[in-house]
């Protein structure tokens, strides 16, 4: 068990408190990160439908595909009675859906027997919960009023426990090691795929003391002109002298993520890029300086905007997001975003990826800092210089 | 361009032919593999909503997040006019959804101007198309009758072109190399995460001639008693003498996947495992022997079942599935499954992962063969012995 039984009980109690406040008699949790948070179930089984049923009272029930249900006890602490398999014949069939089975089982076992009635919450925008699954529930259980829970469990995850912070510090060690490998392996003449392979090796191997887990996103290394776009993946081309390479990666430990972005210049950077790097480093520093409990998140954004404006720059996208547990395809928690439209206020042990990515025309620069809001200020997880990192010339 | 303009035109024509047959005036494509197939757009941007609008006549339109739209031309051949950005402020907001914007744009630009009316097809069970996105469309465009297209584009992808087969042969080279690394690195005393790291390195680096792409699924290596479950990921524990390790991995090249599973025994296998391995190898051979165009897929399943029955065994899950383009979290095409409930008939240049995974109580065995239906029989992509592979003793 990664966390104490008491910590899992506390998580469930917090979820049920919010359910009560939102008038929900049950919740259907489909986001793999939320399922892991509540019952520790962890497998690459989310490509077929799965759902954790959380009634206001009584036991949670995990529904997965038959072949996955058999081994769910190996990662989850749920008792065998709380794991229900849907038959293999429901997988990838045009006229049958696993949620047809789930809805049937929920009717038979819980609608009548248990106290679920009225409003039942769904994660209407979670990955891996499809409209087909949604319609199966609508059709099969018309007694329930299905409402969006608006990332209810994600919001419970926002403030981390001391045990979670410890895991994130370990993820940070893996993260630093992987970025060091990126720094060492990026050279003119090297193929992008070989650098990505070296980074991936460092992420998964970790250190002798801390074995790495798979990150929710592959290493991203937009290079040269393509660095004006954040999410392109590597190719087979070779780095050339004068290119800048943006590296965004994460260290992951037991599904907890610490992401980091840095930009490397192979040889002397252009004046434009050097100026941009200075502005962004200044902006990041100005934001880190004001972080402490009680500060509204939107103040981080406005501080960033003011600093950047001094350089005649602005950034249309958000400046970061809450982090913690991650499953592909995203390591963000989908709750707080660092931007002026956000109404949240910083609390101790919230954790964020402060992500200052600037995507210009035909070049780009990224600098990030993963951090924890500490009792009196900020703890940055990573330990990597914040400047544009220059690589020497190389044949 | 990975494929000729003619090949892309042919793909679109095939999709429109099916749309016409299903009475669809437009199709909204949300599966990243289908988007890549039709317009070559390729980026790790699918964690925020994106959709390719395919009208029965006229230009396709790709909707993505603003920061991704800016660079979409770097991978897609779509002209700039055909790429539409939704603003950053729609990302991860509780009361706004990117599909609110998409629906608005579709109303303004296409509902009135273009000939879309009546039935519009949706991929109701694709990953990354959420119920919230679906409801945004329902609410904003009541004139459209939204219907499930039942994996329309996936079915077009089923028979591969010669150019696609060439890419899969390259993916097979990467796949063989990665399995060789698995074979070399699995030893008593090694950590699971270090073996996974070595495999991942081989998958991404590929060969000097063929740079690897990221596979849609991380290396899976269920070990010892955990090998009774297929989708558990690695941990930090060390392999021990006498354990069996199931390895499932893929080689990927330009998003085309060739997966492969083998089982390694560290030291002498148990009698049960050895017997199981013999039965499965016999079953796989019996299936490969009958593959040729014109054979019903269900005959592969019944042949497998008959061979396995000789050993007193049966397998409740399907025996394989169609493969080709893959994005996380799955490399299957979600069309043909090799099982008795499937009505498909083999055609030349269909490609499958014949996946003979047997998950028993506290042990398991996997053997697979990725293959192409050739003009007269079968071409297996991989080149790895089909027996239980024994590793020597090691301190």
The secondary structure of B99-116, three-state, reads HHHHHHHHHHHHHCCCCC
B236: nearest CB among A42, A211, A220:
A211
Of A44, A87, A321, the CB nearest to B218: A44
ipTM summary value: 0.97
Is there a contact between A233 and B43 if contact means CB atoms under 8 Å apart? yes
B337 interaction partners in chain A (CB closer than 8 Å): 91-93
CB contact under 8 A, B129 and A131: yes
Residue B6: is it exposed, middle or buried by C-beta count within 10 angstroms (0-12/13-18/19+)? Answer: exposed
A112 Cα to chain B: minimum distance (Å): 26
Size of interface A-B (CB pairs under 8 A): 237
Q: Are A230 and B91 within 8 A, CB to CB?
A: no
Q: Domains in chain B, start-ordered, CATH in brackets?
A: 5-156 (3.40.350.10), 162-391 (3.90.230.10)
Give the pLDDT score at A112: 58
Nearest CB among A193, A211, A217 relative to B211 is that of A193
Q: Which chain A residues are Cβ-neighbours of B202 within 8 angstroms?
A: 197
Q: Is B60's pLDDT higher than 70?
A: yes
Please compute the mean of the pLDDT values over residues B19-30 and round it to a whole number.
Answer: 96
Phi, psi of B349 (to 5 degrees): 75, 15
Which of chain B's residues have a Cβ under 8 Å away from the Cβ of A89? 339, 341
Report chain B residues whose CB lies below 8 A from the CB of A126. Answer: 130
Which of B44, B137, B339 would you mutate first to test chain A, the one with the most A CBs within 10 A? B44
Show residues of chain A in contact with B251, CB under 8 Å. Answer: none
Instruction: Kindly list the residues from chain B whose CB atom is less than 8 angstroms away from the CB atom of residue A218.
Output: 44, 214
| Residue B143: predicted pLDDT | 85
Ramachandran assignment for B176, one of left (phi > 0), alpha (psi -120 to 50 degrees), beta (any other)? alpha
CB distance A74 to B226 below 8 Å: yes
CB distance B129–A128 less than 8 Å?
no
Assess whether pLDDT exceeds 70 at residue B209: yes
Number of H helices, E strands in chain A: 10, 14
Contact assignment for B341 to A94 by CB distance below 8 Å: no
Chain B residues closer than 8 Å to A238 by CB: none
pLDDT confidence of residue A109: 79
CA-CA distance, A366 to A360, in Å (whole number)? 11
What pLDDT does residue A116 have? 61
- Nearest-CA distance A218 → chain B (Å): 7
Question: What's the pLDDT at B112?
Answer: 58
Does the CA dihedral B335-B336-B340-B346 come out positive or negative? positive
- Residue B183 to residue B161: CA distance in whole angstroms: 33
Distance CA A365, CA A310 (A): 18
A228 closest CB neighbour out of B70, B91, B329: B70
Q: What is the predicted pLDDT for the residue at B1? A: 82
pLDDT at A115 (0 to 100): 53
Give the pLDDT of residue A273: 96
Question: How close, in Å, is residue B231 to chain A by CA atoms?
Answer: 5
Q: Choose the closest CB to A66 out of B89, B192, B316.
A: B316
Residue A317 DSSP code: S
Find the DSSP H helices in chain A.
5-21, 32-39, 66-69, 98-105, 131-140, 152-156, 162-185, 192-205, 271-290, 297-310
Q: What is the pLDDT of residue B394?
A: 43
Split chain A (395 residues) into runs of 10 and give each run's mean pLDDT: 96 98 95 98 97 94 96 95 95 93 89 68 97 96 92 98 98 98 97 98 98 98 91 96 96 98 96 96 98 98 97 95 98 97 97 96 94 98 93 56
Q: Give which of B322, B276, B281, B284 is closest to B303, Cα–Cα.
A: B284
Answer for the pair B26, B121: CB distance below 8 angstroms, yes or no.
Answer: yes
User: If you write DSSP's letter for every residue of A102-161 in order, what string do you get?
Assistant: HHHHIIIIIITTS---SEEEE-TT-TT--HHHHHHHHHH-TTSEEEE--SHHHHHTSBPP
Q: Specify the pLDDT at position A108.
A: 84
Q: Exposure string (b/e) for B258-274, b if CB count within 10 Å is 16 or more?
A: bbbbbbbbbeebeeebb
Task: Specify the pLDDT at position B149.
Answer: 97
Lowest mean pLDDT among A391-395, B236-240, B305-309: A391-395
Nearest to B105 by CA among B123, B122, B126, B90: B90
Alpha helices in chain B (DSSP H): 5-21, 32-39, 66-69, 98-106, 131-140, 152-156, 162-185, 192-205, 271-288, 297-310
The reply to whether residue B211 touches residue A229, judged by beta carbons under 8 angstroms, is no
Q: What is the pLDDT of residue B115?
A: 53
Q: How confident is the model at residue B395 (pLDDT cuts 50, 70, 90)?
A: very low
Position B376 confidence tier, pLDDT thresholds 50, 70, 90: very high
| Rounded distance between C-alpha atoms, residue B42 and residue B186, angstroms | 34
Cα–Cα distances (Å) from B355 to A105, B101, B115, B154, in that order, read 29, 42, 44, 20
> Residue B338 in contact with residue B302, Cβ under 8 Å?
no
> Rounded to whole angstroms, what are the CA distances from B153 to A87, A210, B54?
26, 43, 11
Check whether B152 has a pLDDT greater than 80: yes
Distance (Å, rounded) from C-alpha B331 to C-alpha B33? 9
Q: Do B229 and A135 touch (CB under 8 A)?
A: no
DSSP tag of A303: H
Contact A213 B196 (CB under 8 A): no
Cβ contacts of B359 on chain A, cutoff 8 Å: 67, 70-71
Count other C-beta atoms under 10 Å from residue A166's C-beta: 13
pLDDT of residue A111: 67
* Coil, helix or strand at residue A30: coil
Q: Which of B359, B28, B360, B393 is nearest to B186 (CA)?
A: B393
- Residue in the structure block whose two tokens are 């060390």: B238
Out of A124-133, B116-125, B133-142, B376-385, least confident range: B116-125
Task: Write down the mean pLDDT value for chain B.
Answer: 95
CA distance B348 to chain A (A): 23
pLDDT recorded at residue A234: 97
Structure tokens at B179: 């399995």
Full 3-state SS string of B182-233 = HHHHCCCCCEHHHHHHHHHHHHHHCCCCCCCCCCCCCCECCEHHHHHCCCCC
Q: For a pLDDT cut of 90, what percent of chain B falls above it?
A: 91
Each residue of A236-271: b (16+ CB within 10 Å) or e?
Answer: beebeeebbbbbbbbbbbbbbbbbbbbbbbbeebee
CB B37 within 8 A of CB B30: no
Question: Is B127 within 8 Å of A236 when comparing Cβ atoms?
Answer: no
CB contact under 8 A, A44 and B233: yes
């Amino acid at each position: 068990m990664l966390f104490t039984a008491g910590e899992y009980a506390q998580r469930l109690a917090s979820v049920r408190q919010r359910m009560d406040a939102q008038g929900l008699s049950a919740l259907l949790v489909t986001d793999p990160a939320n399922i892991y948070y509540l019952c520790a179930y962890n497998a690459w089984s989310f490509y077929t439908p799965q759902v954790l049923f959380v009634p206001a009272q009584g036991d949670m029930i995990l529904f997965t595909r038959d072949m996955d249900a058999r081994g769910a006890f190996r990662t989850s602490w749920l008792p065998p009675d709380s794991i229900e398999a849907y038959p293999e014949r429901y997988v990838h069939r045009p006229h049958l859906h696993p949620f047809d089975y789930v809805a049937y089982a929920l009717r038979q076992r819980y609608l009548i027997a248990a106290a679920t009635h009225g409003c039942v919450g769904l994660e209407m925008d979670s990955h891996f919960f499809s409209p087909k699954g949604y319609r199966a529930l609508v059709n099969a259980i018309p007694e329930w009023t299905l409402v969006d829970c608006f990332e209810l469990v994600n919001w419970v995850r926002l403030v981390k426990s001391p045990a979670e912070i410890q895991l994130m510090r370990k993820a940070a060690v893996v993260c630093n090691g992987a970025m060091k490998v990126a720094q060492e392996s990026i050279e003119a003449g090297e193929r992008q795929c070989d650098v990505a392979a070296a980074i991936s090796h460092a992420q998964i191997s970790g250190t002798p003391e801390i074995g790495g887990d798979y990150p929710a996103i592959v290493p991203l290394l937009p290079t040269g002109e393509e660095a004006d776009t954040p999410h392109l993946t590597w190719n087979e081309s070779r780095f050339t002298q004068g290119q800048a390479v943006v590296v965004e990666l994460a260290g992951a430990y037991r599904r907890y993520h610490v992401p980091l972005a840095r930009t490397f210049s192979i040889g002397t950077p252009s004046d434009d890029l050097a100026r941009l790097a200075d502005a962004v480093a200044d902006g990041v520093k100005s934001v880190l300086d004001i972080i402490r409990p009680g500060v509204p998140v939107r103040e981080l954004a406005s501080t960033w905007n003011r600093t950047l404006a001094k350089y005649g720059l602005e950034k249309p996208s958000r400046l970061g997001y809450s982090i913690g547990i991650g499953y592909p395809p995203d390591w963000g928690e989908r709750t707080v975003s660092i931007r002026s439209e956000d109404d949240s206020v910083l609390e101790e042990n919230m954790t964020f990826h402060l992500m200052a990515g600037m995507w210009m025309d035909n070049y780009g620069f990224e600098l990030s800092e993963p951090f924890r809001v500490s009792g009196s200020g900020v703890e940055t997880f990573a330990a990597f210089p914040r400047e544009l990192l220059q690589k020497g010339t190389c044949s």
